[in-house]
């Protein structure tokens, strides 16, 4: 509890030194002879024009700014998604001469084909950016 009282007095003296002199509060950190001599001034010197006040300390605390775009309710709707399909089949390739002028007999070879279709699906209602 004693530390709390000292901290409270420190804050009061720091924020308003004139109030500390007016109430007779003496706050000393170092008890050297230099500080003792400065405290022997009269009350008129303390309250007069010789009192130099410091402007209060200004503390600037940055506040985060949140920016959001408006949101709108969107009813549910149907949309489509592509569903790819692949299959492999054998295809007859007739005989031919290749680049080296060699005869290649006719034969079956596998060929892959790709196709697909659009699958409809329901998107439930929700929120979106306008």
Q: What pLDDT is stored for residue 75 in this prediction?
A: 85
User: What SS3 state is found at 64?
Assistant: coil
Q: How far apart are the first and last CA of the chain?
A: 57
**pTM, entire model:** 0.30
Residue 126, CB-side half-sphere exposure with 13 Å CA sphere: 6
Give the separation between CA 130 and CA 126, rounded to whole angstroms.
12
Q: pLDDT by residue (tens digit) across 89-121?
A: 999 999 999 999 999 999 999 999 999 999 999
Neighbours of 76 (CB within 10 A): 9
The answer, yes or no, to whether residue 37 has pLDDT greater than 70, is: no
Q: pLDDT by residue (tens digit) across 70-86?
A: 778 878 889 999 999 99
């Amino acid at each position: 509890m004693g530390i709390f009282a000292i901290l409270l007095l420190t804050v009061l003296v720091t924020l308003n030194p004139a109030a500390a002199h007016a109430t007779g509060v003496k706050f000393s950190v170092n008890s050297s002879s230099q500080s003792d001599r400065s405290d022997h001034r009269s009350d008129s010197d303390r309250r007069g024009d010789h009192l130099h006040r410091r402007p209060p300390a200004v503390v600037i605390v940055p506040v985060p700014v949140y920016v959001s775009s408006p949101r709108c309710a969107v009813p549910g709707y149907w949309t489509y998604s592509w569903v790819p399909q692949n299959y492999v089949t054998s295809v007859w390739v007739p005989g031919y001469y290749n680049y080296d002028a060699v005869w290649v007999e006719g034969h079956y070879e596998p060929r892959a084909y790709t196709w697909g279709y659009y699958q409809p699906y329901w998107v439930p209602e929700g929120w979106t950016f306008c």
